Amino acid sequence: MTETITKLAKNHTLSKQEYISLINCNDKESLEYLRQKAEKQRQDIFGRDIYMRGLIEFTNYCKNDCLYCGIRRSNKKAQRYRLTKEEILDCCKNGYDLGFRTFVLQGGEDAYYTDDIIVETVREIKSQFPDCAVTLSIGEKPKESYKRYFDAGADRYLLRHETASAEHYSLLHPKDLSPENRMECLKNLKEIGFQTGCGFMVGSPYQTVENLAEDLIFIDKFKPHMVGIGPFIPHKDTPFRNEKSGTLEMTLKLLAIIRLILPKVMLPSTTALGTINPKGREMGILWGANVVMPNLSPTTVRKKYMLYDNKICTGDEAAECRFCMQKRMESIGYKVVVSRGDYPDLQK
């Protein structure tokens, strides 16, 4: 397996068959070799700097009914909430003072937030915090809407593709969501000029090793600026309540492979990874990730943005995550930096 890993580290691409054997590899020494290669490539570009994004979960209303997600519209038990523009701006102000220079506005697909409201909110954030980047993560929209957000000053957009296999996609989503539209949205975002992020869950129901290889090939071709991956974790009020979680080992392996495919990619060590293992986020960094996304949402709503069971970072002190994260990164010899953290070729 070491030849395959060496080849990936050098050429940044493998054949489908090679991806499959690497994903299947469970040999401890080979995996440690993979980890070292990934850590080295990340360090050659970013040193020991870790970029922070302040995550603002501004609505948990969603018109979609994805089978895996705790805020799906059929979950009648979810306590729904929406933040006002003013509340979002308060989070940014608080975040700015804590050293955040990127704000990620994430929410369900909630028609209450019209394009006008999103545009206004983005404009206001960019005018009050001109040295900050704004990332949107609000789902599938028409290209014209994306263009309006971009023209209002939004810098980046996260839209996980969830799975690159159309067949697998149909097992995770109701019929009214199509994999073609998802991919079209990603293409549009990139064309418009967003730093664009895709991604998927590791160990989602019905996922095969071949599906994962297809996700890697998609990432290899699409060349996103950001990739978000984390383990699938069941939520008790969804159809997938009895499914198994994705594993730490598989998520770490995939983080390292993605780092080697795209050496410069902005790759978060996610909350879901920290939820399945108390040291998950630290390990994510050691396996090639270079971004963390502490929670900046008002503490009153944190417990309500439950995409999966036992989600961490729902504590009642607003600044806790920021400092917790700093300590965690320092404990493994890394440091969080106060910077926008743009994709290396696009730095402002």
Residues contributing to the site for ligand 5AD (CB under 6 A): 68-69, 160, 162, 201, 230, 232-233, 235, 272, 307-308
Q: Which helix (H) or strand (E) holds 184?
A: helix 179-192
**With CB cut-offs between 5 and 8 Å by kind, which of ligand 5AD, ligand FES, none does residue 320 bind?**
ligand FES
Q: Is 319 in the site for ligand FES (CB under 6 A)?
A: no
Smallest separation, CB 104 to ligand 5AD (Å) = 10
Pairwise CA distance, residues 123 & 21, whole Å: 47
CB 137 within 8 A of CB 160: no
Which is closer to ligand 5AD, CB of 34 or CB of 66?
66
Rounded CA-CA distance 173/69 in Å is 10
Name which of ligand 5AD, ligand FES, none residue 315 binds, using a CB cut-off of 5 to 8 Å depending on partner kind. ligand FES
Instruction: Give whichever of 5 and 321 is closer to ligand 5AD, judged by the CB atom.
Output: 321
- Sorted by sequence, the CB contacts under 8 Å of residue 258 that are 6+ apart come out as 216, 219, 227, 229, 265, 267, 288
325 binds ligand FES (CB under 6 A): yes
Which residues lie below 8 Å from residue 160, measured CB to CB, with a gap of 6+? 197, 198, 199, 200, 201, 228
Question: Which CB atom, from 136 or from 307, has the smaller least distance to ligand 5AD?
Answer: 307
Q: What is the largest CA-CA distance in the chain?
A: 55
18 vs 179 by CB, closer to ligand 5AD = 179
Going from the C-alpha of 107 to that of each of 24, 46, 168, 189, the distances in angstroms are 34, 29, 24, 17
For residue 135, state whether it binds ligand FES (rule: CB under 6 A).
no
Phi, psi of 131 (to 5 degrees): -90, 15
Q: What CA–CA distance (Å, rounded) separates 314 from 78?
A: 15
Shortest distance, position 269 Cβ to ligand FES, whole Å: 11
User: Is residue 313 a contact point for ligand FES (CB under 6 A)?
Assistant: yes
Question: Considering the complex, what minimum distance in angstroms separates the CB of residue 198 from ligand FES?
Answer: 24
Partner whose binding site includes residue 18, from ligand 5AD, ligand FES, none (CB under 5 to 8 Å by kind):
none
Residue (242 or 347) nearer to ligand 5AD, CB: 242
**Residue with smaller CB distance to ligand 5AD, 189 or 272:** 272
Among 248, 321, 329, 336, binds ligand FES (CB under 6 A): 321
What is the closest distance, in whole angstroms, from the C-beta atom of residue 197 to ligand FES in the complex? 20
Question: Of the two residues 125 and 198, which places its CB atom closer to ligand 5AD in the complex?
Answer: 198
Considering only CA atoms, give the Rg of the chain.
19
Given the DSSP bridges, would you call strands 156-158 and 49-52 parallel, antiparallel or unpaired?
unpaired
Task: Quote the least distance from Cβ 320 to ligand FES, whole Å.
Answer: 5
- Of 50-58, 198-206, 320-328, 330-338, the window that binds ligand FES (rule: CB under 6 A) is 320-328
User: CB of residue 148 vs ligand FES: minimum separation in angstroms?
Assistant: 33
Candidates 10-18, 80-88, 261-269, 312-320: pick the segment binding ligand FES (CB under 6 A). Answer: 312-320
Q: Yes or no: say if 33 and 68 are a contact pair by the CB < 8 Å rule.
A: no
Per CB under 6 A, does 258 bind ligand FES? no
Order of strands, sheet of 54-59, starting from the edge strand that comes earlier in the sequence: 54-59, 102-107, 133-137, 156-158, 195-202, 226-231
Instruction: Give the full edge-to-edge strand order of the sheet including 49-52.
Output: 291-292, 49-52, 335-337
Per DSSP, 346 falls in state G
Dist. CA 67–CA 63, nearest whole Å: 13
Q: Which residues form the interface with ligand FES (CB under 6 A)?
A: 294-295, 313, 315, 320-321, 324-325
